[in-house]
Amino acid sequence: MQDIDTVGPAESDQALVARTAAGDREAFATLYRRHQGAIFRFARLMTGSPSAAEDIVQEVFLVLMKDAARYEAQRAALTTYLFGMARRVTRRRLRRERRFVDIGTSRGASRWSVMPDVSASLERRDALQQLRCAILSLPSRYREVVVLCDLQALPYETAAASIGCAVGTIRSRLHRARQLLATKLRRVDRAHGVARAAMRCAV
């Protein structure tokens, strides 16, 4: 799947970037509306923080605004270019603010719990919450492949180009990331089972 939040006429990204470089405000706005959702979701899943994700979206599109003339469509699709930039900005931010990755349990949960998800059942919401926390607790090289390939549904080739590695590396990291996730979720499930049993004993 390519992208995602298509708004406005289906003009190609390449044409819109060219118009942006020539100073066309509407072209830039269309590019933003088309791609911001994917970048926002990527950044939020990587940082666990909606406000950090907002900053990252802003930074990525500010760079696009300034450097649109430097973008070379023959080297990479705009999606690849934007995800690559979002990845660099996110990693820089995570390095600067280590607290964003140091989650995994309750702190991560409280940060996500502010997000509205009223339509989902409580149990399903809890399961998704645990998955988000498990993803956040992965090392970033595994987290980014899960977010790009499993959650943004990018082809392996696009993910590899965004990260700057071989497709084989993406495959192996994804395999390892899913193993880690499954282990973490099983552990959480077991802990919940123990807690439920303890509650029953206490009652």
Site residues, another protein (CB under 8 A): 4-5, 23, 25, 28-29, 32-33, 36-37, 39-41, 44-45, 53-54, 57-58, 61-62, 65-66, 117, 120, 124, 127-128, 131-132, 146, 149-153, 178, 181-182, 185
| Tokens (6 digits) for 31 | 């590019």
Radius of gyration of the chain, Cα coordinates, nearest whole angstrom: 19
Q: How far is the CB of 164 from another protein (least distance, A)?
A: 21
- Would you say 111 or 202 has its CB closer to another protein? 111
Minimum gap (Å) between residue 153 Cβ and another protein: 6
CA 128 to chain centre: 15
CB of 154 to another protein, least distance (A): 9
Smaller CB separation from another protein, 34 or 100: 34
Which amino acid appears at position 63 of this protein? V
Nearer to another protein, 101 or 159 (CB): 159
Q: Please, what is the minimum distance in Å from the beta carbon of residue 150 to another protein? A: 5
